[in-house]
Each structure stands twice: as structure tokens, then as C-alpha cells.
């Protein structure tokens, strides 16, 4: 039975958390959206339900999170984790406070810690203030975020505005003393009637101590950083065996391909690195602003190209070309047109036997996963930080998928992805 049940407020954040859990020894499966009642419980130590609840109305974020919690409870999970962004992305009305309030009420636990710190990515919390590198959150650029502008770095104040409960602080001085001191401080805050404790953390050592201090908590809330301390609690309790390879994936035979819809600088660099090394079709949505025609070009090109070596199809373009298409069609329409074409192409690739697919781009990945009917991703080894191979299952054939957020990955990401799989063909 699974031990840890996680609810993540967005898709890439869910994968980040799942990958962190695998690296710390838990076999982890990510489910896409609230699972249906009859969906089978994956054979895993941790389950991460990926929602899209960061910027939806609070009422629907709460409803989806509670439905996910109920499913995870029925699956047998013993502890629950609400994952949000390490920059505490939220608005005055939520959704971190309303969702955490609802989860606390449903679990009857009365209290939860809140710690978005992620030192590896330079997100730290000191005296309740969130820093991004050396800048306070509200001077980090996040104050201008289009959907969740963060204009206050004091998380005690930020969370207080989102809940009718009260928020305390476990300060650095206490955290530095280790797990027992943190546990006592959290218990004292709960006994004083606080519903939340923002917990300071500057290093991974702090995160591990906080995790240890929260071993008995029903609910933990935070970024993926705080999850590094949780697997050890289950090992210490004799519930989690030490596995040689918690990210082992079933082997899948089939053709290999890359599909790129990200126009981020890193992706453009990765495409440039692959140029000349593997067969590549670069679509031109500006010349052919029609999803069906773009997909037809790709299908015609694919025939005869697929084999043991990977191929690459990209719609990606530099900023001036993207802007030109957006000027012509409108920003949203341009994005939707290309996503539609790429989803068609993904479907055509799978129909032609592709079973190892790298997708570049967050929105692009969402469109592809939806079109392929993928419902669950077993998380494997990381190709580059934040991007693991996954074993995908759903209404279509099982396959290996790597879903890359645009700016992630080294220049040789595309070729490296497939080299990593060699031997498991």
C-alpha cells in the first residue's frame, strides 16, 4: 500500500515532487487529475495527484483537492502532502490557504506546517521571509507575475490573508537546533491554537530536520524541497525498504522521437545542438498557419524515417517569428493552433510505433498527454534536474515519456535522453 499521498497544484510541480521522492528512495507514480473511484491503486510508495488548481477559483481548487484526498485515503496512504510552488504562488484569495484549510478540516488534524523552501533552487525562508537568491520574494520579479503577483515576502502575513486560522512561525534559531526542537515548537504553536506554522529553512539539512520533526503530522504543506525529509521517516518506522533503484521502469520497445513546441531559449539551443545529428523536421506555422496541414506535413515526413535512432519534429521558433504569428492570429489562437498540430503529430507518432517520446514545453506536454489519454506516470531516473523519464499508461499503449518544461535541460538533452535508455531496449 502507498505510504505518502500528495496533492500538487500544477503539473510540472507534481513531477518535480515525484522526482524528489524517487531520488530519496520512494517508488512514485504521478496521476493526472483527480483519479476516478474505480481507478486502480498503483504499486508505489508515494502517489502524487497532479491538479491544475493554482489559479482556478478557490472553490474548485478546494473541491478537486478534497476529492484527491478522499481517493488517496481510500488507497491507504498514511500521510498527506500538499505541494505548491517554492515561490508560494497564490493570490490574496488563495489558493494555498483555502486548500490547506480544507485538507486540515477533512483530516481533523487542526494544524499543518508550511515551508516552501527549496535551497537547491535558491528559495530560502528566514524569519518567515521568502528569498529568491539574494532578493526578497517581492523584489525577485515575482511581484510582476501575470497570474499570482507576490508583493509581500512575509509568509506569515501572506498566509494569514488566505485563511481564517492563525499563522505562527518556527524561526531559524529553533530550526537550527534540529528535529526535536522543531517538533516541540510546532506542538506549542498548535496548543496555542495556531493552525499553521511557517517554518524557516535555509539548507537541505534544515529541510531534513523539519521532515523528521513532522513524522507524526497527518498533513505537511510546502514546496518539493520539504519532501526530501519525509522518506526517511517511513524507513525509520520499518515501512519503506531500501531499494537499489526506486526509479526502475519497465522496458518498452519501440521507435524514439522528440516533439518540441517550446520556444524557450534552452529548447532552441537543444534543437540547434541536435541539428545535423538526427533527422529533423522544422515546421513553419507562420508559412502554414493551419494545424491540420502542419500535421499532414509531419505525417508525410515521418513515413520511412522511424527506426532505432530518434527523429525530431519542432514547431519552435525564435521570438520574432513567434511574435509574427501572434500578431497575425492573436496570442492565444497562435498557441492553440501549434498545440493542436503537435497533439495530432504525437498521436501519429504513437500510431507509427513511437514508444519513447521526449516532449519539450509545458503547455505542449499538457496538450500531448491529454491527446494520448495518459492517466499515470511512473517516475524514473532524471535525465537532467527536474526532468525524469516516466512510464506512461492510460487509454493508449504503454510508453516512455519525458516531459520537459521549456527552460530545463542541458544543450545535449535530446540525444542524452535516448542514450540513457540504451540497454533497456
Cβ at position 403, least distance to ligand ADP in Å: 10
Binding region for ligand ADP (CB under 6 A): 261-264, 267, 285, 315-317, 321-322, 325, 334-335, 338-339, 361-364, 405-406
Residue closer to ligand ADP, measured from CB, 221 or 264: 264
- In the numeric block, which cell numbers belong to residue 274? 541536435
**∠ CA 263-264-268, rounded to 5°:** 75
Of 324, 247, 339, which is closest to residue 286 (Cα–Cα)?
Answer: 324
> How far apart are CB 89 and ligand ADP at their closest, in Å?
15
Q: How far is the CB of 121 from ligand ADP (least distance, A)?
A: 17
| Residue 283 beta carbon to ligand ADP: minimum distance, rounded to whole angstroms | 7
CB of 367: closest distance to ligand ADP in angstroms? 8
Identity of the residue, 213 or 361, whose beta carbon is nearer to ligand ADP in the bound complex: 361
Up-side HSE of residue 411: CA atoms within 13 Å toward CB? 4
- Which residue's CB atom is positioned nearest to ligand ADP? 406
CB of 284 to ligand ADP, least distance (A): 7
In angstroms, what is the minimal distance from the CB of 379 to ligand ADP?
19
Q: Which residue has the cell 528512495?
A: 25
Nearer to ligand ADP, 222 or 335 (CB): 335
Nearest alpha-carbon partner for 112 in 5, 48, 180, 198: 198
* Secondary structure (DSSP) of 332-363: HHHHHHHHHHHHHHHHHHHHTTEEEEEEE-HH
User: 198 or 401: whose CB is closer to ligand ADP?
Assistant: 401
Q: Identify which of 202, 7, 32, 242 has the alpha carbon closest to the alpha carbon of residue 112.
A: 7
Q: Which three cell numbers stand for residue 215?
A: 513524522
For residue 251, give Cα distances in angstroms to 154, 164, 240, 389.
Answer: 47, 50, 24, 12
Q: Which is nearer to ligand ADP, 113 or 372 (CB)?
A: 372
Whichever of 104 and 345 has its CB closer to ligand ADP, that residue is 345
Task: In whole angstroms, give the CA distance from residue 123 to residue 117.
Answer: 5
Query: By C-beta, is 363 or 412 nearer to ligand ADP?
Result: 363
Whose Cβ is closer to ligand ADP: residue 389's or residue 408's?
408
Smallest gap, in angstroms, from Cβ of residue 131 to ligand ADP?
25
C-alpha cell at 420: 540513457
Q: CA-CA-CA-CA torsion for 304, 306, 312, 315, nearest 10 degrees?
A: 50
Amino acid at each position: 500500500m502507498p505510504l505518502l499521498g500528495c496533492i500538487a497544484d500544477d503539473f510540472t510541480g507534481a513531477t518535480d515532487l515525484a522526482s524528489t521522492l524517487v531520488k530519496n528512495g520512494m517508488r512514485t507514480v504521478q496521476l493526472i487529475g483527480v483519479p476516478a473511484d474505480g481507478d486502480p491503486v498503483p504499486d508505489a510508495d508515494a502517489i502524487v495527484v497532479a491538479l491544475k488548481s493554482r489559479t482556478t477559483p478557490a472553490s474548485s481548487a478546494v473541491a478537486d483537492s478534497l476529492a484527491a484526498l478522499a481517493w488517496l485515503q481510500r488507497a491507504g496512504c498514511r500521510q498527506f502532502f500538499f505541494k505548491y510552488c517554492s515561490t508560494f504562488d497564490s493570490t490574496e484569495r488563495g489558493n494555498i490557504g483555502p486548500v490547506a484549510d480544507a485538507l486540515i478540516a477533512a483530516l481533523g488534524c487542526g494544524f499543518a506546517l508550511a515551508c516552501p523552501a527549496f535551497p537547491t533552487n535558491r528559495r530560502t525562508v528566514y524569519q518567515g521571509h521568502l528569498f529568491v537568491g539574494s532578493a526578497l520574494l517581492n523584489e525577485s520579479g515575482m511581484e510582476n507575475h501575470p497570474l499570482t503577483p507576490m508583493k509581500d515576502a512575509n509568509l506569515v502575513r501572506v498566509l494569514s490573508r488566505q485563511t481564517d486560522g492563525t499563522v505562527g512561525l518556527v524561526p531559524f534559531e529553533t530550526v537550527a537546533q534540529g528535529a526535536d526542537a522543531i517538533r516541540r515548537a510546532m506542538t506549542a504553536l498548535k496548543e496555542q491554537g495556531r493552525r499553521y506554522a511557517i517554518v524557516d529553512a535555509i539548507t537541505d539539512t534544515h529541510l531534513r530536520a523539519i521532515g523528521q520533526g513532522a513524522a507524526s503530522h497527518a498533513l505537511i504543506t510546502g514546496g518539493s524541497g520539504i519532501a526530501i525529509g519525509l522518506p526517511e521517516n517511513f524507513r525509520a518506522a520499518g515501512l519503506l525498504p531500501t531499494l537499489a533503484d526506486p526509479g526502475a521502469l519497465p522496458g518498452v520497445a519501440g521507435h524514439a522521437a522528440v516533439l518540441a513546441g517550446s520556444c524557450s531559449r534552452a529548447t532552441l539551443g537543444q534543437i540547434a545542438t541536435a541539428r545535423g545529428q538526427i533527422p529533423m523536421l522544422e515546421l513553419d506555422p507562420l508559412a502554414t498557419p493551419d494545424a491540420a496541414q502542419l500535421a499532414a506535413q509531419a505525417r508525410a515526413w515521418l513515413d520511412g524515417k522511424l527506426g532505432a535512432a530518434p527523429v525530431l519534429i519542432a514547431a519552435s521558433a525564435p521570438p520574432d517569428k513567434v511574435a509574427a504569428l501572434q500578431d497575425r492570429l492573436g496570442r492565444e489562437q497562435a498557441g492553440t493552433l501549434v498545440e493542436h498540430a503537435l497533439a495530432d503529430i504525437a498521436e501519429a507518432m504513437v500510431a507509427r510505433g513511437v514508444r519513447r517520446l521526449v516532449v519539450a514545453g509545458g503547455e505542449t506536454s499538457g496538450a500531448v498527454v491529454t491527446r494520448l489519454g495518459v492517466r499515470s506516470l511512473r517516475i524514473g531516473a532524471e535525465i537532467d534536474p527536474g526532468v525524469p523519464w516516466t512510464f506512461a499508461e492510460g487509454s493508449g499503449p504503454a510508453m516512455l515519456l519525458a516531459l520537459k518544461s521549456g527552460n530545463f535541460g542541458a544543450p545535449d538533452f535530446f540525444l542524452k535522453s535516448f542514450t540513457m535508455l540504451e540497454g533497456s531496449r
